[in-house]
C-alpha cells in the first residue's frame, strides 16, 4: 500500500514514503536509519495537537526522548527572529543528547526547521513529515531550506537534504479547502512543466476534492485522487532533484514555473493576502501569457491552463497590490542577475523552457493583464 520514491543523490540519497497511514511507521523508519535517540519536533500548536501528540507518544514508546517546539502559523514564522529563537531553545535543551529534528507541518515548518537543522552545530539530521498537500508534493522534497527577509522570500537558506520524507496522505483530511487548492496549484505546475497526463488527471478529477472538511478517512474517492497526485508529483520532483540537486543546470529551474511573478505577488501582499500556491497560480497565468507573447505557446493552451487554474478555485486577479512593487520585488529573484531576467516559459502543457532577457514591456503587459 505504501509507495516509495527514491531521491538519488551522490552524497545524501533518501526515500520518500507515501501512504494513508505512514506516520505510524516513523519510529521504525528512524531506527533503520540509525539516527540519534533524541527527537526534536518542530511544529505549529494546531498540528502538534492534531498529529504531534500521537507521534510523540509512539516515539517515546519506541524508546526515544521527545521534545516539541512550536512556532505560530503563517509565513511570518519563516523569519530570522523565529529561527534564532528555535536555535536558542534547542541549544538550551541539548545537553548530553544526540538530536535529530522532525519537521512536522506544512512548507513553512519544513523550510524553517530544515534551515535550523542545517545550521545548528553545522548541521544535525532531520526528517520531513509534511502535512499539507503543497508540502507533500513540493517543499519537503529536494532539501531547499530557507527563511525570508523583508526584501523577499527564501533569501537566506541552504541546500540541506532530509534523511527521510514521510508523507502521510491521511493527514490531508483536516486541511481546509483553501489549503487543498493551494497544493493543487503546485500540482498543476508539475503537469505544465513535465507531465500532460498529470494535467489531464487534475482536470478530470479535482472536483472530487471539493466539499466540506474534515474529510472522513474512509472517503475512498478523495483519498485515491490525493494519493495519485502526491505520488506522481513526488516522482517528478524527486526525478528533477536527482539530476540537478543544487540547481546548477536548468533542470531544477523549471520547478520555478510561475514563481518569478508568484513570489513577488506573495511578498507584495505581505505574505498574508495570498498563500504561496495562490500566488503561484497567478504567476502561472502571467508566465503563460508571456509564453504566448514570446511566440512559444499556442493561445488555446494558455486558455486551458487558465481554465484549470480557475476551476481549481485559485484567484483570477492580482488585487490590492501595486505593479511597481511587484516589479521591484521581482528584481530580487534568484534568476535575475546583472540586469538580465530569466523566466521559465511554456512551449506546451508538459514542456517548458528557460528564456533569458524578455523585453520589460512584455512582462509588464502580462502582469497588467491580470491586475484590476
Ligand atoms: N523548500 C521548497 O522547495 C519549497 C517549495 C514550495 C513551497 N515552499 C514554501 O512552503 C511554504 C508554504 O507551505 P504551505 O502551503 O504548506 O503553508 P503552511 O506551512 O503555512 O501551512 C498552511 C496552513 O495549514 C495548516 N496545516 C498544515 N497541515 C495541516 C493539516 N494536516 N491539517 C490542518 N491544517 C494543517 C498550517 O498550520 C498552516 O496554517 C512557503 O513558505 C513556500 O515558500 C518551499
Ligand atoms: Zn512553490
Distance 259 CA to ligand 2 centre (A): 6
Task: Please choose from 75, 77, 105 the residue to mutate so as to test ligand 1's pocket, defined by most ligand atoms within 8 A of CB.
Answer: 105
317, exposed or middle or buried, with CB in 10 Å at 0-12, 13-18, 19+?
A: exposed
Q: What is the dihedral of CA 47, 108, 180, 229, to 10 degrees?
A: -100
pLDDT above 70 covers what percent of the chain? 98
Which is catalytic among the residues 44, 231, 263, 342?
263
Whole-number mean pLDDT of the chain?
94
For atom 14 of ligand 1, the residue with the nearest CA is: 107
Residue 212, pLDDT score: 65
Gap between the Cα atoms of 279 and 30, Å rounded: 35
**C-alpha to C-alpha distances, 66 to 69, 206, 233, 245, nearest whole angstrom:** 10, 38, 31, 31
- Residue 340 pLDDT grade (very low, low, confident, very high; cuts 50, 70, 90): confident
| Active site annotation includes 237 | yes
Report whether pLDDT(215) > 70. no
Per residue in 178-200, pLDDT (tens digit) is 999 999 999 999 999 999 999 99
Distance 257 CA to ligand 2 centre (A): 9
Average pLDDT over residues 250-263: 93
Residues lining ligand 1, Cβ inside 6 A: 44, 46-47, 50, 73, 75, 78, 105-109, 111, 131-132, 134-135, 138-139, 142, 144, 153-154, 171, 174-175, 179, 182, 275-277
Gap between the Cα atoms of 290 and 145, Å rounded: 29
Residue 170, pLDDT score: 93
- Cβ–Cβ < 8 Å for 184, 172: no
- Residue 121 pLDDT grade (very low, low, confident, very high; cuts 50, 70, 90): very high
Residue 336, pLDDT score: 74
Report whether pLDDT(28) > 60. yes
Amino acid at each position: 500500500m505504501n509507495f516509495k520514491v527514491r531521491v538519488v543523490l551522490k552524497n545524501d540519497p533518501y526515500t520518500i514514503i507515501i501512504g494513508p497511514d505512514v506516520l505510524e511507521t516513523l519510529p521504525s523508519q528512524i531506527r533503520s536509519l540509525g539516527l540519534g535517540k533524541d527527537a526534536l519536533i518542530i511544529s505549529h500548536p494546531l498540528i502538534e495537537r492534531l498529529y504531534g501528540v500521537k507521534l510523540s507518544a509512539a516515539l517515546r514508546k519506541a524508546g526515544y526522548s521527545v521534545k516539541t517546539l512550536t512556532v505560530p502559523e503563517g509565513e511570518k514564522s519563516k523569519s530570522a527572529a523565529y529561527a534564532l529563537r528555535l536555535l536558542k531553545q534547542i541549544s538550551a535543551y541539548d545537553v548530553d543528547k544526540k538530536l535529530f529534528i522532525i519537521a512536522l507541518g506544512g512548507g513553512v515548518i519544513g523550510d524553517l526547521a530544515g534551515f535550523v537543522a542545517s545550521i545548528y552545530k553545522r548541521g544535525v539530521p532531520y526528517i520531513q513529515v509534511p502535512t499539507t498537500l503543497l508540502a507533500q508534493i513540493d517543499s519537503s522534497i529536494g532539501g531547499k531550506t530557507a527563511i525570508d527577509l523583508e526584501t523577499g522570500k527564501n533569501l537566506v537558506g541552504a541546500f540541506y537534504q532530509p534523511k527521510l520524507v514521510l508523507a502521510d496522505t491521511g493527514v490531508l483530511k483536516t486541511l481546509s479547502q483553501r489549503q487543498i487548492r493551494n497544493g493543487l496549484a503546485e500540482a498543476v505546475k508539475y503537469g505544465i512543466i513535465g507531465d500532460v497526463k498529470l494535467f489531464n488527471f487534475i482536470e478530470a478529477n479535482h472536483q472530487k476534492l471539493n466539499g466540506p472538511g474534515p474529510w472522513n478517512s474512509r472517503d475512498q474517492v478523495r483519498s485515491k485522487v490525493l494519493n495519485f497526485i502526491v505520488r506522481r508529483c513526488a516522482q517528478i520532483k524527486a526525478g528533477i532533484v536527482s539530476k540537478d540537486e543544487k540547481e546548477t543546470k536548468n533542470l531544477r529551474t523549471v520547478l520555478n514555473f510561475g514563481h518569478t511573478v508568484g513570489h513577488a505577488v506573495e511578498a507584495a501582499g505581505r505574505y498574508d493576502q495570498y498563500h504561496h500556491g495562490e500566488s503561484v497560480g497567478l504567476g502561472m497565468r502571467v508566465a503563460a501569457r508571456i509564453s504566448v507573447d514570446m511566440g512559444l505557446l499556442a493561445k488555446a493552451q494558455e486558455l486551458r491552463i487558465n481554465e484549470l487554474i480557475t476551476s481549481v478555485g485559485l484567484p483570477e486577479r492580482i488585487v490590492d497590490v501595486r505593479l511597481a512593487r511587484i516589479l521591484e520585488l521581482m528584481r530580487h529573484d534568484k534568476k535575475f542577475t546583472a540586469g538580465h531576467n530569466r523566466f521559465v516559459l511554456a512551449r506546451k502543457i508538459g514542456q517548458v523552457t528557460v528564456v533569458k532577457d524578455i523585453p520589460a514591456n512584455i512582462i509588464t503587459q502580462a502582469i497588467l493583464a491580470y491586475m484590476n
